[in-house]
Amino acid sequence: MSSTPQAVRARANIDVTGALLLGTGLAFASLILVPALAAQLGVGSSLTGALRIALMKASHRAIGRSSSNGEEAPPACFSCH
């Protein structure tokens, strides 16, 4: 049974939207939630920074994997330098 082009496009849209939501959630966590929780728990700045970097990298990977075959898409103007 073959899928119609409209069904394929709808599925691709859902995949991209899910990746964007995941990436946005991880970015929000790294920018807002991690520092707030670290301040409440008394965690050092080095560990807080490491957690933020790890979450931002995960966010970038989540957004970059928007193709249906799981290959990472080329970066879209994102650079740490």
pLDDT digits (tens, 9 = 90+) for 22-79: 888 888 888 898 899 999 999 999 999 999 898 888 888 888 765 455 555 555 555 5
Kindly state whether residue 81 falls inside one of the protein's structural domains: no
Kindly state whether residue 73 falls inside one of the protein's structural domains: no
Kindly state whether residue 40 falls inside one of the protein's structural domains: yes
> Full-prediction pTM beyond 0.85?
no
Kindly state whether residue 74 falls inside one of the protein's structural domains: no
- Local structure of 2: helix, strand or coil: coil
Dump pLDDT digits (tens) for 2-21.
577 777 666 766 777 888 88
Of 39, 31, 30, 37, which is closest to residue 58 (Cα–Cα)?
A: 30
Kindly state whether residue 13 falls inside one of the protein's structural domains: yes
Buried b (16+ CB within 10 A) or exposed e, 18-33: ebeebbeebbebbeee
Residue 2 is encoded by which pair of tokens? 């073959």
Residue with tokens 């709808």: 10
Number of domains in the chain: 1
Kindly state whether residue 69 falls inside one of the protein's structural domains: no
Range of the domain at 54: 5-64
